[in-house]
Amino acid sequence: MAHTTLGVILMVFNTPIPQSLATEIEKCTRILKKLKIPPAVLEKARGVAIVSIFNFSAIVSGSAGSGIVLARLEDDEWSAPAAISTMGGGFNLSIGTHLIDVVFVLNTSDAVKEFCRGGKFSLKELKFATGPNENENGEYCDVYVYEKSKGIAALLIPTGEVLKSTVIVERNDANKTFYEKEVSIEELLTGKVPAPKDILPLHDLLE
């Protein structure tokens, strides 16, 4: 009963707490389905990173989250997913908390290469903008951002400011547990590891 209740909670809130890669895949599939990114945008994407982030602010702000990243391969198929986490911090005059579900559409090979480096890196190194909807053309850049936020500070803390301070971290432990061997994020995003069947529903949404 407790396990069932926990599962319902995780589904409703898309928890930003790092989970197993299998659970992260399920969560990120729900997020991608909910945000409904235009097919024309996904057709050109070189990769996607999907995360849920918890942000708090009380003059000093911080954020943490988790999700996955995957890339489009040379044969136009999608790669195996890699587990990632996020963290960030800074200063903000607002007070409050909110949750953000985010899809980063990686438009360029350079954006994918940033993730392939592994370890951790700041999103400030990439140029990103709010992704276009079905009826508009967005400013072409490294990364399009699609997000949905909720919480008592959702109108007080600009989501863009949260994302600019975000650092992406490779979750080696989660990837090793899921794939049952040491595997780098570069190996996953370049097709050196076959895509597991768990990711196929998400692959279908990207097609």
Asked whether residue 119 carries a pLDDT value surpassing 90, the answer given is no
- Structural domain boundaries of the chain? 2-206
C-alpha 6/C-alpha 8 separation (Å) is 5
| Rounded distance between C-alpha atoms, residue 14 and residue 28, angstroms | 8
| 1 vs 7: CA distance, rounded Å | 10
- C-alpha 48/C-alpha 70 separation (Å) is 6
The amino acid sitting at 35 is: L
* Higher-pLDDT residue of 129, 182: 182
Distances (CA, A) of 76 to 7, 73, 83, 99: 34, 5, 21, 33
pLDDT at 3: 44
pLDDT at 166: 80
Read off φ and ψ for residue 174, nearest 5 degrees.
-65, -40
pLDDT at 137: 66
- Where residue 25 falls among pLDDT bands split at 50, 70, 90? very high
Q: How confident is the model at residue 41 (pLDDT cuts 50, 70, 90)?
A: very high
pTM for this one? 0.85
Q: Tens of pLDDT along 127-158?
A: 888 888 765 666 778 899 898 877 654 444 44
Whether the CB-CB separation of 85 and 27 falls below 8 Å is answered with no
Residue 27 pLDDT class (50, 70, 90 cuts): very high
pLDDT at residue 44, as a whole number: 93
- Per-residue pLDDT tens digits for 49-96: 999 988 776 666 677 899 999 999 999 999 999 999 998 766 555 566
56/100 Cα distance (integer angstroms): 11
Average pLDDT, the chain: 82
Distances in whole angstroms, Cα of residue 197 to Cα of each of 22, 26, 179, 181, 194: 10, 12, 12, 17, 9
